Amino acid sequence: MTKFQALIYDKNLMVVAVGADHAGAELKGALLELLRHWGHEGLDMGTTGQAPVDYPDFAQQVCRAVLQGRAHRGVLICGTGIGMSIAANRFQGIRAALCHEPLSARLSRLHNDANVLVLAGRLIGRAMAEEVLRVWLQSPFEGGRHQRRLEKIAAFEEALGKKP
């Protein structure tokens, strides 16, 4: 969570911003329904429908929602998950993890405190995506030595951000 986070954090009741391009729009709809069913608030950041759009636009929407404290976490979906990962990890303070199965999802929380989950809409099935999301939302950050490593990333992120 960022220092700007205004929302009360409760792992059982989170605000999750979900965005996708056309290759992830259908899965996004299913995951938003599931989030609401689990008691979370799902923010639909688009796109809807199959018309081709550009994934960076939706990565930006979701990352800004997380960084500005309008959402606790973010989920991004494109065809492979790669474009969304590249775009999301350009944002200072975003730790986006592309996960295709639950163990990576769990470790991305335990070790990396990932605040954005990226899914490959064209590569994984709906049941797997749902399980990845469930595990990711429920897994805590372990802190300790992992906190020190994240601080190192934050330090060079800060230094690089100041370069022209």
Which active-site residues does the annotation give? Answer: 78, 111
**Residue that the structure tokens 């409760």 belong to:** 10
Phi and psi at residue 121, to the nearest 5° = -60, -30
Assess 60 for contact with ligand RB5 (CB under 6 A): no
Assess 21 for contact with ligand RB5 (CB under 6 A): yes
Q: Which is nearer to ligand RB5, 55 or 91 (by Cβ)?
A: 55
State which of residues 16, 18, 23, 114 lies at the interface with ligand RB5 (CB under 6 A): 23
Is-contact 97 64, C-beta < 8 A? no
Assess 78 for contact with ligand RB5 (CB under 6 A): yes
Element (H, E) at 137: helix 126-138
Assess 128 for contact with ligand RB5 (CB under 6 A): no
State which of residues 15, 25, 31, 55 lies at the interface with ligand RB5 (CB under 6 A): 55
Q: Return d(Cα 76, Cα 97) in angstroms, integer.
A: 10
Q: Return d(Cα 102, Cα 68) in angstroms, integer.
A: 28
Give the total of residues touching ligand RB5 (CB under 6 A): 8
Assess 58 for contact with ligand RB5 (CB under 6 A): no
Q: Return d(Cα 66, Cα 73) in angstroms, integer.
A: 6
Contact positions vs ligand RB5 (CB under 6 A):
21, 23, 55, 78-80, 82-83
